[in-house]
Every structure is written in structure tokens, then in C-alpha cells.
Structure 1
Amino acid sequence: MRQDKPSLVELFRQDQARVDYIHRRTSNATARLNPIGDSLFARVPATINYDISRYSHIVNIGLGIPTKFFSFTFDTGSDLTWTQCVPCVNCYNQTNKINDPTQSFTFTNIPCNSYYCTQLHQFDCSSTYTCLYEQEYADNSKTNGSLIKDSLTLSNDIVYDFVFGCGHDNTGIFGHVDGILGLGRGPLSIINQKPHLYNKIFSYCLPSRPDTIGYLELGSSVLGVRYTPMLTKPEMPSYYFLNLIDISIGGERLGLPPTIFSEPGTMLDSGTAFSYLPPSVYSILRNIFRNYMRNYTMAPPIYNLDTCYDISNYPMVFVPEMSFIYDGEVMTNLDSTGILFVFNKSQACFPFIQNEDDSEVVVIGSMQHLTYSVVYDVGNSQIGFGANGCS
């Protein structure tokens, strides 16, 4: 089954649905965190490929022996890694040939009473007592299939007995990726499945353009980063929280009380494109930004981005500098794409969205940490940022 390229509105709805789901989880979520207990080092390039997915960052990962490579998007807000597999009841059109795990010498099924099976939010038993999973995402995209074990190849590392989903029935907006690599903090994440291999640490740099290359790295820190504490919300233990204390625009801090961010909590999420701010913060930030951009022609809003400009008649566009400041005075200067995102020359928008109210979780999306090396040191409960991380 071929999946048509999603419309721009569908992509916005997907982003909004993910954040709505995050907000719901902070109110009523329950989750388990029970990781299992010669470090390796693995680094793979991360790229943007508009033919695969408009807003995702892609890494190539090998599965099985003999190894076949697949294009995955990685997601810090997901624990389960999965790829489409044959037999294919309902599959979308992906980049590479669909995985057939039975061709791998290292493939095994997992019984439905096993530890990893019971850690799934939704699982069942097949007629042969193997583990079946269902993973539903915030935008109602869904994958169903078998939970299996096989070899995973990252760069020159081969990770044996890696547990992941083999999706036989997959519907929704996945672009044309072959699967998702889960980098959350839950037990099914590669970080907690193999803590002895990668020391519960990973980092990445998300490139801002298709002509630059970023990376995903497991098992090693990065030089030149500054760390801020990694926080945990008990109702959302798989997600990465940190303490945003202020925002600077045009060299001036907003100077708002830090509790405006700390009381609802601030999440760093690679799977959300835009950043979602408290209304009281967003209105001030937007007004300052509009004042800086007053000489440019405004354009109609795009979905829930309400500050857009027609820049088709301007050979050069100047935007104010912006920075996020985290606990410990760790400052990240936003890439220009994270300040004004150009959908086309007639619509370039301020890529921030306001939450419904100030009590909802603040989400820092991928556009607002582009080009930085971001280090998730789970073992030491800290998140690091280093400038100029992408080549």
C-alpha cells in the first residue's frame, strides 16, 4: 500500500497531536521504568531527506545477519524501536525493501510472558504463545506486529539480541521511513536494553538543511558541551525534562519568573518540530519579534503558526537573535531556522506555538535545538549542549 505524501496541514496536526498527548500524559499517565542491568561506541550520520520525511532526521541502521540496512527516524519521546516486516498485512510505501526477519540467522521470537513483552503498554499472545504488540502514537498513527529479537548494527558495532517491533500492520503518517528508533528512558529503549554497552549516554546533532550532515552517537560524551540537570516527571518517566529559566531575544532577556517554565515542566523532544510555550510567554515573545520584523510584509498564518511573513521581495532577511537559557546559565543560540522557518518565499513563520494555558507542559521541539550537539547523559542525569555540532 502506497502512502501519499502528507499535506502541510497533516504535518501540523501530527505535531499538535503529539503535544496534546504529552499534555494529557502529565495529567493521568502511569508508566514503568525497570531497566536491565566493555562499553562500545557507535556514531552514524543523521541527515534530512525530504523524499523520506519532511521534518524527521534520518539514520541508517542494520538489522539481522546477513545485515540489511534501513532508514530510521530517531525519537527521544519513544521507547519502542520498530520497522515494517513481512508478512505485510497493511504497510505504507517505505524507502527500502521491507524487512524479512526470517532471512536472518540471529532472529528469534519472544514469548508473551517475557520481561520485555510485559513492559509494553499493549501486548497480547499469538496462537503460538509469541509476543504481539500494538503501539499507537499521538496522531493516531499505529503499528501492530510481533516483538522479536535480532542483531542491530550501528556503525561498526553489532548489538546482539536487540528487542524491537516487527510491524505487520502499520497505518498513519510515517512519511517513507522504514521505522523508528526509540531513544526514550523506558525499558524497551536501546539506552536501557543495553546499558552495559553504551553507558546510558547518547548524543545527536540535527542538521538544519539537507546539504549538511549531523550525527547520532551512542556510548560517548561530546567535548565542549555545558550541562544542565536532567529532570524526571513521575507521571512521564520515559521523557526528558530540563529546567528552562528564560528566553532572550535581540540580546535582551524576557526576565519572566522561572516558575512560568518550571511549574508545568519543560520537555526536550526530538519528535516534535515546533516549540510550545505558555501563552503568557508566547504573547510577549511574539510581540517583540513582530516589532523587530515590522518592516517585512505579513502573510496569512499557517495552521497554528500565527506570525508569518511574505519575504519573496526581500533578497536578505534579518531576524533577531534568540537564545534559550537553561538551569546553570546554559545558553543555546537558536539557528535561524528555529527563529523563522521558511515554508516558501511567500510564507516564512515564527516557529513557536502557544499552549492552551500556562499549566501545560512546555515542549522544546527539534527546530529549537538544530545544529547543537545535544548530550543525554542518562546515567548522570544531565543534558548537555554544545554549539556547532553538525558538519
Structure 2
Amino acid sequence: MEAPRFIIISLLILLLSHITTTTPTTIILDLIHRDSPLSPLHTPNLTFSDRLQASFLRAISRQSRHVDFQTDLLPSGGEYMMNLSIGTPPFPILAIADTGSDLTWLQSKPCDQCYPQKGPIFDPSNSTTFHKLPCTTAPCNALDESARSCTDPTTCGYTYSYGDHSYTTGYLASDTVTVGNASVQIRNVAFGCGTRNGGNFDEQGSGIVGLGGGNLSFVSQLGDTIGKKFSYCLLPLENEISSQPSDSPATSRIVFGDNPVFSSSSTNGVVFATTPLVNKEPSTYYYLTIEAITVGRKKLLYSSSSSKTASYDSGSKSSVEEGNIIIDSGTTLTFLEEEFYGALEAALVEEIKMERVNDVKNSMFSLCFKSGKEEVELPLMKVHFRGGADVELKPVNTFVRAEEGLVCFTMLPTNDVGIYGNLAQMNFVVGYDLGKRTVSFLPADCSKQ
């Protein structure tokens, strides 16, 4: 069996004056699903159904963390992992990659109180290029005031408390980061050294890489180096979290910089949909505006005041709240406004000619149908985003075989912030242009990207 492989990815963030590239750079890297056979978190004795259920439970817990807005993410709740290499000589670090987080941090010695970590912990004293950052630096000022501690002006301290009572406390520092097996080295990259960390962090992981929209995040600080663009293509779960790896296992991919698939000569006639990002607080999250969803011939306006009528009035767009949903690669399921979800569920029941049954085993899905082993006919759905961006979702994006004989709808109701999860994004190239403040969706076979 091929040994687990990870593409080394850098933090590459902050203090970008030390990157000498004058033209935008493109970096293509693997994203390893945490339940993939390529992941050290993979548990071989679990079934595909077991892995699905664990992923769904993480999504539900993570959604409740977004509600509080007191934290960037649920620790270890992100679904994709990447390796970091930091210091001189390079020190490899495994971390969760997450679009719902800004701060990048890792456990560091000397640990006053660290959670158990199976791999070695980063020791700054072993790196000849390591430096603590004082409170006068831009990275320190990018921290929220409540998370920043400057009792000693020579050291920028930080404390993050998460919604499940997990926490990390430490200081900001800078060091050299190596990308892609020493092909690129970047000096003076800023990150958090966590010396007091506890809670629900995974023993296999060293920390978190922030891919959010705030000033402190990975992609924001890369800035012009990548043309303020990044994109990813996520494999369907059945390709990603099978029980055994194939001879040449496919992985999801992330691209920092221009993705050629969005050029007119590369889409092969396939039209991509582009919708504006909405500026809202906290700026960590990427906010989009859903105007309506179509099931069959029924178009439902995404509005709590109008959804009961299960109709769409093109002149009523003002009733749709701007930035009513967060797009998040780290949450598996999609969560929709509760009243709207009721109308959507009713439309699906009307459209699907199968016996509706309860999700007795998992008790998490609201809409399930009895099915045999054969393929079942399920409707296409179309999500209408602001700006005329219509994204057609196939059943792989909206339904899952939760167990033998049971097919369930993978969108759930919520009274809180909506989340457009990663199942709905699979087999799309999802491109973020932070300069133009847009997100684009291009249908694709992600196993070939």
C-alpha cells in the first residue's frame, strides 16, 4: 500500500514584504479529507456509513459554533487537512485547513499546558530563523482587541476561547516557511505559538491554518502574491473516504492564485456562475446571498416572510437579506433558514415519488426516503445566488445514502446563520476573487482537476 502522502503547504501569511515575487504566483496543493485513507485520522475498521455519520455530527456541532460568533471555528471540526513545514531546518506540522478561521497557530514548546499530541511539538529554539513578534507589529494589531495581550510590549500575546470551551493561548512569532518540498521558501511568516491549549483538539494535529476572510488569515495576507485569488475542487465523499485507498488515490485540491479553469478557453463551453461576496462582520466568514432555490418547476423565494407561499416574485428581491448564508468548506451539511426549509421540504416531498420514512438510527435528518439497492431517481435543485448566479445541484450534492435502504436530504433547518456546506460544493471548482469580492462556481469532475 502506498504510504500516506501529504503535500507540504505553507502558512505563507503575513509580512508579505519578504516575498520577492513581482507577478502573481499559482500554487496547487492537495487537501486531504480527515477520514481519507491518506489521513492519519483514518480509522480502517469504520464503515463508510460510520464515517458519514461522524462527519454529519461534526457539521451540526460546528454550525452551533458559527451561531455564537465568539470563535473562528469548532476545533478539529474542519474536514480537510494539510501539512506545514516551518523553521530552519524545516519542521513538518499537520494542521486543519479551514475557511471559517483567520488565526493560524500550532502547539509550541515550552508547553505550559498542551493537549496530548502524538507527533513532535514545534520547538522554536531549534530554528535559527525564529523571532517573537512585539505588540507594535501589523499582525498583532490584526488580532481582535479581546484576543490580544500586550502586558509585555516585546511580546504579542493572544488568547482564543472556542464555543465548546476549547482554547489556545500563546504569542505571535515569525519564521521561515517551506512550500512544496523546498521548492519555495518564505521568510518572516507570522503565526501563533500556542503554549497553553486544551479541549477537543485532535491528538494527530498540531494546530489550525486559517483560510478565512479576515486580515490575519492565510489567503488575505498572501494578497497580491496570489492575485488575491484562491479556489478548490472537492471530491464527492464516496471517492474521498472509502475504506481502502486505491493504487493512485485521488484527493481534493486547493489552488492559491489564478486557476486556469476560469479562463474562457478552459471551460469547454461550461458556464460558471459568479455571485458577489457581502461585507459583514465578523469578516472571518465568506457571506453570500441566496435569493431562491428551485425544485422541479417550483421556485421558492429565500425569505422567512414569503417562504410559506412557496412562490417566487422577481420584484420582491428587497425582502431577501443580504449575506444570508456563509459558504464554508469545513462544514459538511447545508443549513437553511427554518421557515424557508419547511417550504423546500414540502416541495421535495411533492416531487419525490418514494415512501417517506424517519431517520431512526441517526436522528439527525429531517427528510428521508425508503430506497432499495438500485439507483433512485432524485430531483435536481438549482440555487439562485445574487447577481444571476444559478448553481445546479445534482443528487450527490443534496442527498446521501445514510444507511442501507435509506436516502436522506443533506440540508437541515436552522434558526441561526445559514451555512452552504461542502457537500453542496463537491464536483465544483469554487473560486474566490477577494479583489473583485466574488465567488464563482464551475461544474467539474474533481477527480481530474
TM-score range, shorter chain: 0.7 to 0.9
Q: Which amino acid aligns with 1:246?
A: A
Which residue does the alignment assign to 1:226? Answer: 273
Which residue does the alignment assign to 1:249? 295
- Return the letter of the residue paired with 1:160: R
Q: What is the aligned partner in structure 2 of residue 192 from structure 1?
A: 220
Q: In structure 1, what is the Cα distance between the partners aligned to 2:231 and 2:112?
A: 35
Q: Which residue identity lines up with residue 204 of structure 1 in the other structure?
A: Y
Of the three residues 188, 194, 201, the one matched with 2:229 is 201
Letter in 2 for 1:290: V
Of residues 171, 178, 187, the one that matches 2:206 is 178
Q: Does 1:167 align with 2:226?
A: no
Q: How is 1:176-325 mapped onto 2 (pairs within 5 angstroms)?
A: 176-209=204-237, 210=240, 212-223=250-261, 224=267, 225-233=272-280, 235-250=281-296, 252-254=298-300, 255-256=311-312, 258-259=317-318, 261-263=320-322, 265-291=324-350, 292=352, 294-295=354-355, 297-300=357-360, 302=362, 304-309=364-369, 313-325=372-384
Question: Could you tell me how far 1:148 is from its partner in structure 2?
Answer: 1.1
Give the deviation of 1:365 after TM superposition.
1.7
Write out aligned runs for 1:73-152 (5 A).
73-94=96-117, 96-121=119-144, 122-125=147-150, 129-152=154-177
Mapped pair 1:41 → 2:26: yes
1:247 CA displacement:
1.3
Matched, 1:158 2:196: no
- Post-superposition offset of 1:206: 2.1
| 1:365 matches 2:408 | no
Greater strand share, 1 or 2? Answer: 1
Aligned partner of residue 325 in structure 1, secondary structure: strand
- What is the CA–CA distance in structure 2 between the aligned matches of 1:309 and 1:86, rounded to whole Å? 52
The answer as to 2:416 corresponding to 1:378 is: no
> Is contact 1:47–1:207 with CA below 8 Å preserved after alignment?
no
Q: Is the 8 A contact 1:95 1:178 kept in 2?
A: no
Q: Deviations over 1:269-318 (max 9, x none)?
A: 2233322212221001112333416336432274553224565x534344
> What CA deviation, in whole Å up to 9, does each residue of 1:206-229 have, x standing for no partner?
222325411111122342343222
User: Structure 2: where are the runs of 5+ without partners?
Assistant: 1-13, 43-53, 56-78, 241-248, 262-266, 301-310
Q: Contact 1:74/1:183 (CA < 8 Å) preserved in 2? A: yes
Contact 2:291 2:386 in 1 (8 A): yes
* 3-state secondary structure, aligned to 1:270: coil
Is the Cα contact below 8 Å between 2:148 and 2:159 reproduced in 1? Answer: yes
Q: 1:36, 1:99 → 2: CA distance? A: 23
How far residue 244 of structure 1 moved from its aligned partner, in angstroms, is: 1.7
Which AA in structure 1 matches 2:177?
Answer: L
- Residues 112 and 46 (structure 1 numbering): CA distance in 2 closer, same or farther, change over 3 Å? same
The normalised TM-score by structure 1 is 0.79
Deviation at 1:149, TM superposition (A): 0.8
Whole-angstrom distance in 1 between the partners of 2:353 and 2:318: 29
In the alignment, the residues of structure 2 paired with residue 170 and residue 280 of structure 1 have an alpha-carbon distance, to the nearest angstrom, of: 39
Q: 1:112 deviation in Å?
A: 2.6
Percent identity, please. Answer: 27
Where 1:262 maps in the other structure, the secondary structure is coil
Residue aligning to 1:31: none
Partner deviation per Cα, 1:169-219 (whole Å, 9 max, x = no partner): 222334443322112222211223232322211111222232541111112
- Choose 1 or 2 for highest CA Rg: 2
**Residues 189 and 87 of structure 1: is their aligned pair in 2 closer, same or farther, counting only changes over 3 Å?**
same
Flag structure 1 segments of 5+ consecutive residues without an equivalent: 1-33
With over 3 angstroms needed to count, the CA separation of the structure-2 counterparts of 1:284 and 1:160, relative to structure 1, is same
1:160 aligned counterpart, secondary structure: strand
Q: Is the 8 Å Cα contact of residues 214 and 389 (structure 1) preserved in structure 2?
A: no
Measure how far apart 1:259 and its partner are: 4.8
Q: Which residue of 2 aligns with 1:339?
A: 398
Amino acid of the structure 2 residue aligned with 1:231 = V
CA distance in 2, matches of 1:260, 1:303: 33
- Distance, in Å, in 2 between the alignment partners of 1:303 and 1:147 is 43
Q: Is the 8 A contact 1:299 1:346 kept in 2?
A: no
Residue 263 (structure 1) shift: 4.5
- 8 Å contact kept, 1:319–1:336: yes
* SS of corresponding position for 1:216: strand
Contact 1:94 1:178 in 2 (8 A): yes
Q: Does 1:52 align with 2:112?
A: no
**Residue 203 of structure 1 contacts residue 222 of structure 1 at CA under 8 Å; is this kept in 2?**
no
Deviations 1:47-77 (A, max 9, x none): 2132538640122232222223333222222
Q: Give structure 1 regions of 4+ aligned residues with deviation exceeding 6 angstroms.
A: 34-37
Between the aligned partners of 2:395 and 2:114, the Cα distance in structure 1 is 37
Deviation at 1:351, TM superposition (A): 1.8
Structure 1 residues 352 and 111: CA distance shift in structure 2, 3 A: same
Paired residue type of 1:43: I
